[in-house]
Structure formats: structure tokens, C-alpha cells
Amino acid sequence: MTCSISRRQLMQMFCLAIPAALLDCIGFDVFQDERICVHIYDLNDSIPPPLLEVHDGKRLPRDGKTYFQSGLPELLLCTSGSRFLDLFQYFWPISQQEFRSMQEEIQVKTAKAKLISAQDVEELARYLARNDQLTEAGNETSAVILTLNDHTLRWASEIVQVCRSAKITEFVVFKDPSKPPYLCSYPARQKGFKRPPPIGSKS
């Protein structure tokens, strides 16, 4: 007997498989080199200006440059049994255990491995419009995760607006702590750094 799977079902299976693969994708070297920090925002509060800046050239295609990767899809929508603010109380450094706790808590709803264009942001907005019950998830919290690099920064302001319109609970940014924009310079809900960050590091 032949079993057919629709494109939507295949995508759902892929999304549900993402959490189980997070640690494998991230790899030990990220934790060893401590090249990743996290910033968590309540969308009802102020967002750092660098994340609200409108950038020119948004229609330019993604070039062949290698961009910072957190190991996560560059754009991800999920629900979680715990607030990200509780999972990551400090910006940096992030431990493997913290990532493991996130892996156990989140349910991925939709994700983009690479954030390519405005169309990806529009698809997120359409998904949220069709699934507005995410903002009424009972004991769960909703979150949009962005891996911030020189390319994805172009879309940050639009993603923030989409999240606010959809009443997403938390906006989570993973980035390289040694590269601008230095989000730690702005008011934050987290406790700061466990030790001085590698700001301006050339390594």
C-alpha cells in the first residue's frame, strides 16, 4: 500500500524534528568558543534602536558571504512551556544545559533555515494571521527567534512589527557577542553577563 504525504504534512514533520536536532546542529565548538549570546525582549516594552532601523537594499539577493550561525534556523516561531527569560537569565555565556532546556521546552510551529527576503517575513505574518490562537496558548508562551547577522539585520524591524501585531510574547535574538550591534548597551530584562563579554574581539 502506498502512503502519500502532503507538502504541509512534510513541513510539519520537519518543524517538529528541529528541536531534537538543535544540539547536533550547534555543535560543541560554539559553546567552547563562546561565540553566541542571547537577548530577550517583551514586545510591549521598548526594543533597541538597531533592531528597529529600516535598512536600504532589502530587495538585494543574499550573497555568497558566510554569515554568523547560531545552529538554529535564522527565523523561527515556537511556543514554550517556559519563558525564554527564565531559560536564559544572562546574555552570555550560554551553556549547553541552557540550550538543552530550550530543546526540551519548545514546540516549533514554523521556521526558515535561511532568511532570504521580505517574502519570508510576509510568510511569517500570514502564518500568524491563520493561527491567532498562538497568542492564547494557556500556560505556554509564544516566541519568535531571530539569528542576527549582517544579512538578517535588514529584516529585524519588520519582524518586530509582525510580532507586535500578532501579540507574540517574546522576541529572542541570538548573535555573536563580539560583533555589533551591541544590544547589551540598551535596557534589558536579563541580568547581564556572567563575566565581561568579548566586545570588539578580533578573534
Task: Output the furthest CA–CA distance in the chain (Å, rounded).
Answer: 61
Tens-digit pLDDT profile for the chain (203 aa)?
Answer: 434 434 444 344 444 445 545 545 555 455 566 678 999 999 999 999 999 998 775 556 667 677 888 788 999 999 998 999 999 999 999 888 888 888 888 999 999 999 988 899 999 999 999 988 776 556 788 999 999 999 999 999 999 999 999 999 999 999 998 889 999 888 889 998 888 777 765 54
Give the integer Cα–Cα distance in Å for 92 and 191. Answer: 10
How far apart are alpha carbons 68 and 75 in whole angstroms?
13
C-alpha separations of 61 from 182, 191, 202 in Å: 26, 38, 28
> What cell numbers appear for 75 in the block?
527565523
Query: What one-character-per-residue DSSP string does 127-156 give?
Result: HHHHTGGGGG-TT-EEEEEEE-STTGGGGH
Task: Supply the pLDDT for residue 40.
Answer: 97
- What's the whole-model pTM score? 0.82
- Annotated domain spans of the chain: 9-185
The dihedral formed by the CA atoms of 104, 178, 34 and 160, expressed in degrees to the nearest 10: 0
